[in-house]
Structure formats: structure tokens, C-alpha cells
């Protein structure tokens, strides 16, 4: 599989000395990048960006979406959208950008493209998603595009309602942006919500598996992923699924309540402007102290 060794020092990755470096025993943070392309390694900007925190201390898996249009300082590249960091310098620069802007300690990552994500969803037997009429129409447009690029027949979502989506359908659903969620969330805010909904379903599928299946399952999925983690590290992290009452919790940076401007034009680019210092404090409280963003 596409294994990449990150040999950069903590300083090179933008990890501050005041932040504890993960030892893989209690809390491990991993960057997850979703790219729009056939290849994971050189695929331009990251269409999706998440932080997955494996919190063995509190028996939780925490997923945080970072909105792709977040206005940040990319090291050595100036101020721009965070999505562009991956295109400018791959996963290492994207990790450094996350660490420096949000005062984090991420050393590892995993990157998937649309085709790889679809394969992963298919490998677990699909995901259960409640799809609205408007979402069906929008997702089917994306499904048609995916099928054309891959040279295969599309499998469209045929009706609204709670149903099992296959890989191609789940990716189409996760890309929806110009339709409101049932809760009224629109645009990229809504798209990140959908992406986390798919991720939660994947974790729920993992919870139902027998532990003995993990090595075989991991080896089946790895061909579709580029990652800095080796198979032993992955299986060690997967040990959290053996804990009783494991909980999946998720949030997004930013939440609407601390957005300064959701359509802030910077150098002719529409960006999302919010207080990065506050977001950093909120994020660290969520990851390390298990304080929900709503309670912060």
C-alpha cells in the first residue's frame, strides 16, 4: 500500500514544545485528507480535511471537520484557504498548517481520493444514510460525474429516505454542498456535516466487527489509502474498538456561532473568517479535556 515515512522533526511539522507529543497510548491525533483526483499523492487541494482523535483515555473517537475555505497562514506561502496547503506541499505542509494555526501535535495522516473512499464504503457493506429529495437530485449529479471519470456505469440513488448507500452513492452524498441539510445547514457547513455522518457510519460498522477480523479488513482497505501509519500502528489504534461503551463524537471548525464572516473575500477568494485562537482553545479542550464545544 501507499506507506509514506514522515521523517520531519516536530519543529519542521510545526509542533510546539508546549504541546504533548502523542505516544499512541492515550490520545493520538491523525489528519485525514480527502482529495479530488485519481491519485492521492499529487492531487491538488484537499476537498475534505478532518482531524481524527483516538482518545483511549476517555474511550472516544473524536472527529473534527476543518472547513476547506478557512482563512489561515500557510507556512512559507502566506495567507490563503487551508484547502490549498495540501496542493502547495502535500500532506506534510497541510499537517504543519494545522499544527501552527491550531496549536496541535499531529504527526500522522491518511489521504483518500473519491474512488478510494467509495471502495472503503463498499468494503464495509455500505452506510445507512437518511437522504432528502433535494439531496437525491444533487448527489446523483456527482455520481454521474464519478462514473464518467472512472469509465463505469453509475448507480444512482433512486429514492429519498433512510437507506443503505454504496460507495459511489456515499461519496456523491458527502459532496453535496448546494442543498440544505434536514437541519437547515447549507453550503460547505452542510457538506462537512454529511462527511462526518459517513465517517460515523464507517466507525459503527467497525464496532460490529469481531476483533479477529481487523487485520484482514485493514489489509483490504490499505490499497486505497496513502498514509504515514504502518499496519502495526493501525492495528494498535484499532484496539480502541475493543473498549466497552466506545463513543463517537464529532464537531466542526468553525461552528456558526463564532464565525466572523462566512463569505469573506481575500484576494478575490471567498473564505471563512473566524478567530483561530479561540478555535484552537476550543479544539484542545475537546481533544484533551473531553469538553464539548457546546459546553466550552
Bridge partners for 57 per DSSP: none
pLDDT of residue 175: 93
d(CA 190, CA 180): 7
pLDDT of residue 174: 95
d(CA 97, CA 272): 16
Yes or no: say if 9 and 107 are a contact pair by the CB < 8 Å rule: no
Bridge partners for 64 per DSSP: 51, 251
Rounded to whole angstroms, the maximal C-alpha distance in the chain is: 53
What sections of 60-126 are H helices per DSSP?
A: 84-102, 114-123
Give just the sign of the alpha carbon dihedral 106, 235, 241, 129.
positive
pLDDT of residue 41: 55
d(CA 286, CA 288): 6
pLDDT digits over 50-60, tens only?
Answer: 999 999 999 99
d(CA 131, CA 188): 17
State how beta strands 247-253 and 60-66 pair: parallel
pLDDT of residue 221: 87
pLDDT of residue 220: 86
Query: How many residues would you count in the chain?
Result: 296
Measuring CA to CA, which residue among 67, 30, 52 is closest to residue 252? 67
Can you read off the three cell numbers belonging to residue 185? 445547514
| pLDDT less than 50: residues of the chain | 23-24
pLDDT of residue 111: 95
pLDDT of residue 157: 98
Cis peptide bond N-terminal to 254, omega within 30: yes
pLDDT of residue 165: 98
pLDDT of residue 244: 87
Amino acid at each position: 500500500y501507499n506507506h509514506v515515512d514522515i521523517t520531519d522533526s516536530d519543529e519542521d511539522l510545526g509542533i510546539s514544545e508546549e504541546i504533548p507529543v502523542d505516544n499512541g497510548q492515550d490520545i493520538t491525533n491523525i489528519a485525514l485528507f480527502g482529495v479530488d483526483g485519481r491519485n492521492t499523492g499529487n492531487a491538488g487541494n484537499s476537498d475534505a480535511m478532518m482531524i481524527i482523535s483516538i482518545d483511549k483515555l476517555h474511550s472516544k473517537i473524536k472527529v473534527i471537520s476543518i472547513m476547506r475555505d478557512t482563512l489561515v497562514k500557510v507556512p512559507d506561502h502566506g495567507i490563503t484557504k487551508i484547502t490549498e496547503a495540501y496542493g502547495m506541499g502535500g500532506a506534510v505542509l497541510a499537517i504543519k498548517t494545522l499544527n501552527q494555526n491550531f496549536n496541535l501535535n499531529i504527526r500522522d495522516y491518511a489521504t483518500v481520493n473519491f474512488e478510494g473512499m467509495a471502495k472503503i464504503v463498499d468494503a464495509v457493506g455500505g452506510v445507512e444514510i437518511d437522504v432528502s429529495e433535494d439531496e437525491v437530485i444533487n448527489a446523483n449529479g456527482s455520481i454521474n460525474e464519478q462514473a464518467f471519470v472512472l469509465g463505469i456505469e453509475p448507480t444512482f440513488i433512486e429514492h429519498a429516505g433512510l437507506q443503505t448507500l454504496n460507495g459511489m452513492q456515499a461519496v456523491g452524498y458527502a459532496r453535496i454542498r448546494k442543498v440544505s441539510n434536514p437541519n437547515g445547514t447549507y453550503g460547505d457547513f452542510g457538506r462537512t456535516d454529511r462527511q462526518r455522518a459517513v465517517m460515523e457510519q464507517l466507525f459503527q460498522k467497525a464496532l460490529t466487527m469481531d476483533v479477529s477480523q481487523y487485520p484482514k479488513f485493514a489489509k483490504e482497505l490499505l490499497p486505497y489509502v496513502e498514509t504515514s501509519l504502518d499496519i502495526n500502528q493501525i492495528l494498535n489504534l484499532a484496539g480502541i474498538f475493543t473498549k466497552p461503551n466506545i463513543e463517537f463524537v464529532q464537531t466542526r471548525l468553525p461552528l456558526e456561532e463564532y464565525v466572523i464572516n462566512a463569505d469573506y473575500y481575500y484576494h478575490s477568494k471567498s473564505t471563512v473568517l473566524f478567530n483561530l485562537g479561540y478555535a484552537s482553545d476550543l479544539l484542545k479542550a475537546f481533544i484533551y479535556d473531553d469538553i464539548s464545544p457546546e459546553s466550552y
